Structure 1
Amino acid sequence: MKKIWFFIAFTAVLFSCSDNNRSNNNPYIPNYAVNVYLDNNLPTYNNLKYVSNPVYVANYGAKGIIVMKTGEGTYTAFDAACPNQALTSCSAMTISGIYAVCSCDKAQYNLFTGLGGKEYPMKQYRAEGSGTVIHVYN
């Protein structure tokens, strides 16, 4: 009997440790496959060498992605689609310092956390740095 309870407890812990915060289950933004490598030695991505200097990368995700260095060797990456608007109603969010601004409702979202005080946060992707290359994927 003890083995059964141990198995049940172990299974509950195992399945409760999921990574759902990256999918966001946002009804406005579909789950597009993202797999891109950005080399910060290239002029386009040079700002990624410095903390708090976000970069917009077109043609990935729903409306492009916004990537930002948040500390030594750490990065965040979010979809540039407004998370609380239909895709067809807005263009990609713009960057204003450490914030992404929605073109429809002018809501601001923090690029460290993806939060903006609305129902849905920004759709987040995984971002890992290795040397001069940042890998953004889901």
Structure 2
Amino acid sequence: MGALGVLACGGDSASEVQPQVPIIAFTTTISLLDQQNTALRFDNGVQYVDGGVKGTKGLIVVRQKAGSYLAFDRTCPYQPTSACATVSIDPSRLFFRDTCCTSQFSLQGQVQGGPSRYALRQYATSLSGNLLTISN
């Protein structure tokens, strides 16, 4: 009965609760000196990281500026259980997009367009020397 009340409070079908990106505890560390992570040596550089996180579609790491990094789940928050709900950097390198649902997200993970109403799931980052740790 409570779930029906939540759906009814929204007033229209667009307010229905979307499934959430799964919350999975993990910690992964990447070396910024590693050849495969060279994009993270430059401002607005973007790198995909597998991270060995089972159940997710991987991570996207963005270097905002020296010493400042953001990490997001690659699972699109719009219909995250869909096999094709994977976010990638757009060829323009100015935003992320999910080609399946056409949702677009800023390099800070915020919704810019498409059907998604939710930002990308963001993870904690910490830098120690040349090692970047990403965790949930």
Same fold per superposition (TM over 0.5): yes
Shift of 1:34: 2.3
* Residue number in structure 2 paired with 1:122: 120
Once residues 94 and 127 of structure 2 are traced to their aligned partners in structure 1, the CA distance between those partners, rounded to angstroms, is: 19
Once residues 94 and 45 of structure 2 are traced to their aligned partners in structure 1, the CA distance between those partners, rounded to angstroms, is: 7
Change (3 A) 1:131 1:47: same
Which of 103, 107, 113 does residue 111 from structure 1 map onto? 107
| Higher gyration radius (CA) | 1
Which of 41, 44, 61 does residue 33 from structure 2 map onto? 41
SS at match of 1:44: helix
* Residue number in structure 2 paired with 1:28: 20
Residues 52-71 of structure 1 mapped to structure 2, 5 A cutoff? 52-58=44-50, 59-60=52-53, 62-71=56-65
Shift of 1:103: 2.5
Q: TM (normalized to structure 1)?
A: 0.73
- Contact between 1:65 and 1:80, CA under 8 Å: does it hold in 2? yes
SS at match of 2:111: coil
Q: Cα RMSD (Å) of the superposition?
A: 1.7
Once residues 91 and 105 of structure 1 are traced to their aligned partners in structure 2, the CA distance between those partners, rounded to angstroms, is: 7
**Higher share in helix:** 1
Give % identity: 28
Once residues 86 and 52 of structure 1 are traced to their aligned partners in structure 2, the CA distance between those partners, rounded to angstroms, is: 26
- Contact between 1:77 and 1:136, CA under 8 Å: does it hold in 2? yes
String of CA shifts for 1:57-116, please: whole Å, max 9, x gaps. 12436110000111221100000001112323424211121422113112111122x111
Once residues 83 and 28 of structure 2 are traced to their aligned partners in structure 1, the CA distance between those partners, rounded to angstroms, is: 26
